[in-house]
Structure 1
């Protein structure tokens, strides 16, 4: 309020003499100009407040239509922004303080009023109401902020144990402020018994002045009986001369949803830790963010070693082609799950067969953010499958294909001949006088001779050649992309090598020879079985002409 400012004063006073004195005192102000509006009863005063801009109200508490503190309450109810100065004829300090509690900013005893005291009171009242207005607005803003953040407020007078809560603090537990009262014991009764250790670990050092802030997460019992998780933070604002905490203020935030989410996450992680399959989670670029213990067991890499790396940087064996991985990435980046088998390499260098499932994980907007991989070591299963396949397709003594599977391969080769019109040589082989070895030396020696012969055959085969044991001492070979003449050269070399390589066993040197029949497979051969029959007839001819020789079906 500057010197050039007019201050509009509403005086509500039913004594004309007292009103005249007030007018004189205001006119006598050397620095300020006052405009005085005089009303003789409260009703007229309330109407004036509603109709005109008033800066300050001077009010007598003994009016024709209102007496005592109700007068102050009515004016304060009519407006929150006007400073009120009570004029009283009694020097009653207790009554004056009650008037201040009801909303007045100051009071003056009529017998002690003069220009200086009146102007000073007006200045003080206007300054105080300004501060109260700012405080009120600040409290409103704070309340709105707490409301928006869903924060409960507490204000604790520590020596007395009295505590003030806001509505949100009570409502988050299902109570009203009237339900909970204003004593610290209500909080103590609501705390979960298992959480006191956590609370004391933070609160006690703070009350001793050892920490800047009190903070804990604990449970409070809801009115309906369930537990509400809260994040409780506070700070001591006042200390006494002995360093004892006097007043602390803080907030509660309901974190039940976060705790439920943490519990759910913990449950999911615990479940993933217990499964036997390796599980890993990667980002969109395949960087590993998490892996379970089974992954460590499967690969030999610890979780710390794996996090931040890409699976191919750790496990790639080189057994898969670039096209294989391109197909994998095309599948998962399109949002689909990829399933397949890969050969990977453990940390110690050992290769193993792995069954792998990779599933994309999308965010709420449908964008892929992570991949989850589930890995299972299927090496034993693959070995078992291989062993079962070998048992079903090979001869246990020689390791060659058995008759059934040899015929399947021969038929497949015949189908290829039909497509490509190339020639294939088919050989039938039979060990000469093999029965005599069994009779003279026993069947174990006969089996050893069959293995001896099988090893000789292996030394002469190309990778594309296929051999099978058709039964007893009878064998068959087909040589892809081979005409009759080179087939004869191969057969003669094999015949001579066996004849020149006797078997030595248990001090015995045992010789044996082989007879071989050859037929060629071409597009006009009829069937694969027909070709094998022709080779068998050529073999019969070789045996008729003295054995240990090669014959071709013409």
Structure 2
């Protein structure tokens, strides 16, 4: 400029020649693009910052042209899902194929609900197929950013965040919340949640199942004579023994202390008693070798109830039946199984 301030210019020029082809001058138009260039550089810097932030946070961007069905993905997710950098788009129908089959219908439902203007934004946690064939959990969020005069959605944009590690931690915590720390069996909490489902399913399908409440006999003597470590070893042995003796479809849990519980599917109380008597006879032949070089044996008593005999088919009633029959088994001298002689 005249005041000495440097400017950035852009020009279009025509070179002038004489009759012999020699350059005699030039003619052109110039314009000041200083502000335009400044804005462009700021946009480039901001884009670089955004790319760095998204890369650091492992977040991908998607931009969906709803009219054409084309979905654009940012570089970081192009790499993850195996698209070429020079082809960063796919059709909506293709994109949906990357969603886990068991979750596609829910994703479609959530998206359609948002597109119809019934929710302020779209959000879904689902599994997404990576190029290596593995499924990753993602938090998929977005919103409509353009509608026509009738309110029809034209464009939506959003983000994909890998939450696989979070899901794994949640699953580990869930497993811990349902697992007995010593034996590795299900705990009392999980058992009662499962019992409620079993009752509802059995009533719906008109099927029977049995509830077996088990208590180890004179177990306190092991702790008193052989020590706390021996007690824990015996509990672990018994848990493993029972696990091997029941079907994979049955439910085994530690009820607390030296009490265990089993749900036997499609089994009547009488049939359950026969099963528990077989297990009891086999247990008596087992020698538990302890780390302190001592050995011991154990027996158990059990109270059994089945669903068909319950007038009020509730978990607490089931427990009451089995508990009273367990008490009757202990009253008979233990090492005993009772399944029908209590009237409630």
TM-score for the superposition, normalised by structure 2: 0.76
> C-alpha distance in 1, partners of 2:328/2:306?
16
SS at match of 2:128: strand
Residue pair 2:60, 2:73 contacting (<8 A) in 1 also = no
Change beyond 3 A, Cα 1:533–1:353: same
Q: Residue 106 of structure 1 aligns with which residue? A: none
Q: What's the CA shift for 1:501?
A: 4.0
> C-alpha distance in 2, partners of 1:509/1:547?
21
Q: Residue 128 of structure 2 aligns with which residue? A: 344
Change beyond 3 A, Cα 1:418–1:350: closer
Change beyond 3 A, Cα 1:448–1:350: farther
Deviations 1:456-485 (A, max 9, x none): 333344455333222111111223443212
Unaligned runs of 5+ in 1: 1-187, 196-217, 219-230
> C-alpha distance in 2, partners of 1:420/1:315?
35
Q: What's the CA shift for 1:342?
A: 0.6
Q: Residue 354 of structure 1 aligns with which residue? A: 138
Deviations 1:278-309 (A, max 9, x none): 2233443664434044x368x37576177134
SS at match of 2:222: helix
Residue pair 2:75, 2:85 contacting (<8 A) in 1 also = no
Q: Residue 128 of structure 1 aligns with which residue? A: none
Q: Residue 338 of structure 2 aligns with which residue? A: 551
Q: Residue 513 of structure 1 aligns with which residue? A: 299
Change beyond 3 A, Cα 1:411–1:290: closer
Equivalent residue for 1:473, pick from 254, 258, 266 = 258
Q: Does 1:235 align with 2:11?
A: no
Q: Does 1:247 align with 2:32?
A: no
Equivalent residue for 1:376, pick from 150, 161, 173 = 161
> C-alpha distance in 2, partners of 1:434/1:348?
53
Q: Residue 280 of structure 1 aligns with which residue? A: 62
Q: Residue 89 of structure 2 aligns with which residue? A: 308
* Aligned counterparts, 1:80-119, within 5 A: none
Q: Residue 324 of structure 2 aligns with which residue? A: 537
Q: Residue 59 of structure 1 aligns with which residue? A: none
Change beyond 3 A, Cα 1:266–1:395: same
Q: What's the CA shift for 1:378?
A: 2.0
Q: Residue 9 of structure 1 aligns with which residue? A: none
Q: What's the CA shift for 1:395?
A: 1.6
> C-alpha distance in 1, partners of 2:30/2:280?
98
SS at match of 1:372: strand
Deviations 1:31-78 (A, max 9, x none): xxxxxxxxxxxxxxxxxxxxxxxxxxxxxxxxxxxxxxxxxxxxxxxx
Change beyond 3 A, Cα 1:533–1:472: same
Equivalent residue for 1:330, pick from 93, 97, 112 = 112
Change beyond 3 A, Cα 1:323–1:280: closer
> C-alpha distance in 1, partners of 2:313/2:319?
11
Q: What's the CA shift for 1:547?
A: 3.4
Q: Residue 403 of structure 1 aligns with which residue? A: 188
Residue pair 1:314, 1:347 contacting (<8 A) in 2 also = no
Residue pair 2:110, 2:122 contacting (<8 A) in 1 also = yes
Q: What's the CA shift for 1:518?
A: 0.5
Larger radius of gyration: 1
> C-alpha distance in 1, partners of 2:311/2:125?
42
Q: Residue 193 of structure 1 aligns with which residue? A: 6
TM-score for the superposition, normalised by structure 1: 0.50
Unaligned runs of 5+ in 2: none
> C-alpha distance in 1, partners of 2:96/2:112?
21
